[in-house]
Amino acid sequence: MRHEIPLIWHPVPQDATADSQAVSDAQTAYDSVWADTSMPVQQSTGLEAQLLKEDKLYAVLAVVLIIWLGIVFFLLRTDRRIDRLERRVDTQNSDS
């Protein structure tokens, strides 16, 4: 059976009901809005299931790897630019 996900399945903050304010102090105000929300119950599969393992640690790994690849991309691009500059200065100096 396919789980029906409504367009907005979480209560928007203004709709937070009075009983959500009675939630224990251990939960933050943010939690009180979201605590009684029902999550889609379908089993995570594939990539999502992998990312959720180990307290969602692998999701952090994915984020860090993407940041790292971005930095590497910049590093290589800067190197290429310096290469080009060096070549241009070389040819200019040999011309004059």
Partner 1 sequence: MKNRYPIIRTLIILWMSVVIVGAFLMDIPRMSILEHTARNLYFHVPMWFTMMAGMTVSVVYAVRNLLQPNLDFDGRSAAAARVAMLFGLLGLITGIIWAKVTWYQGTNVWWNFDPRQTFAAVCLLIYGAYFMLRRQLEDPEQRGRISAVYNVFAFTTMPFLLYVLPRQVQSLHPGADGNPAFSDITDPRMRLIFYPAVIGFIAIFWLLYNQRVRLQRVGRRVGQDR
Of these, 50, 52, 68, 70, which contacts partner 1 (CB under 8 A)? 68
Q: Does 52 bind partner 1 (CB under 8 A)?
A: no
Q: How far is CA 41 from CA 1, 5, 60, 86, in A?
A: 11, 10, 23, 59
CB 16 within 8 A of CB 32: yes
For tokens 């790897």, what's the residue? 65
Decide if residue 72 touches partner 1 (CB under 8 A): yes
Is residue 47 a contact residue for partner 1 (CB under 8 A)? no
The end-to-end CA distance of the chain, in Å, is 78
> Binding to partner 1 by residue 29, rule CB under 8 A?
no
Residues that bind partner 1 (CB under 8 A): 55, 57-58, 60-61, 64-65, 68, 72, 75-76, 78-79, 82, 85-86, 89, 93
